[in-house]
Amino acid sequence: MNDYLKPTRGRSENAAMWFVGYAIMFFAWTIGAGIFTLVPSIAWGDQLEPWQSFFASFFQFVPILGSVIGATYLLGRKPLTLITSRIAFSTKNLFFGILSWSSILLVGSLISWAADPASLKFTFNLGTFMPALLVLILLLPIQVCAEELFFRGFIPQSLSRGNMPAGIVVLISTLLFAAPHLLNPEAQAEPVWSLIAYSSMGFGWLMAAKWLGGLEVAIGAHLANNFFGLAIVGYENSVVAPSSIWVGPEAKMQFSAIALWVTVGIWLWIIKKLKVSKTN
Contact 5, 155 (CB under 8 A): no
Q: Is the pLDDT of residue 80 over 70?
A: yes
Q: What is the pLDDT of residues 19-41, one digit of tens each?
A: 999 999 999 999 999 898 888 87
Q: What is the pLDDT of residues 4-13, one digit of tens each?
A: 999 999 999 9
Q: Considering its fold, how many domains does the chain have in total?
A: 1
Q: Is residue 41 part of a domain?
A: no
pLDDT at 19: 94
Percentage of the chain surpassing pLDDT 70?
96
Range of the domain at 137: 86-279
C-alpha span between 245 and 192 (Å, rounded): 30
Q: Is the pLDDT of residue 237 over 80?
A: no
The residues that bridge with 246 in the sheet, in sequence order, are 122, 233
Q: Is residue 65 part of a domain?
A: no
Q: 124-156 burial, b if ≥16 CB within 10 A, otherwise e?
A: eeeebbebbbebbeebbbbbbbbbbbbbbbbbb
Q: Is residue 51 part of a domain?
A: no
48-52, 237-241, 261-265: the lowest-pLDDT one: 237-241
Look at residues 211, 202, 182, 229 and name the one whose alpha carbon lies nearest to residue 271: 211
Q: Is residue 33 part of a domain?
A: no
Q: Is residue 73 part of a domain?
A: no
Q: Is the pLDDT of residue 242 over 70?
A: no
The neighbour count for residue 105, using CB atoms within 10 Å, is 20
Q: Is residue 174 part of a domain?
A: yes
Angle of helix 91-115 relative to helix 253-279, nearest 10 degrees, comes to 140
Sequence-distant (6+) residues with CB within 8 A of 12 are 74, 75, 76
Q: What is the pLDDT of residues 188-214, one digit of tens each?
A: 889 999 999 999 999 999 999 999 999
Contact 18, 162 (CB under 8 A): no
CA 213, 66, 87 angle in degrees (round to 5)? 30
Q: Is the pLDDT of residue 280 over 50?
A: no
Instruction: Tell me the average pLDDT of the chain.
Output: 91
Q: Is residue 269 part of a domain?
A: yes
Q: What is the pLDDT of residues 100-128, one digit of tens each?
A: 999 999 999 999 889 888 888 898 999 98
Higher pLDDT among residues 65 and 162, named by residue? 65
Q: Is residue 223 part of a domain?
A: yes
Q: Is the pLDDT of residue 276 over 60?
A: no
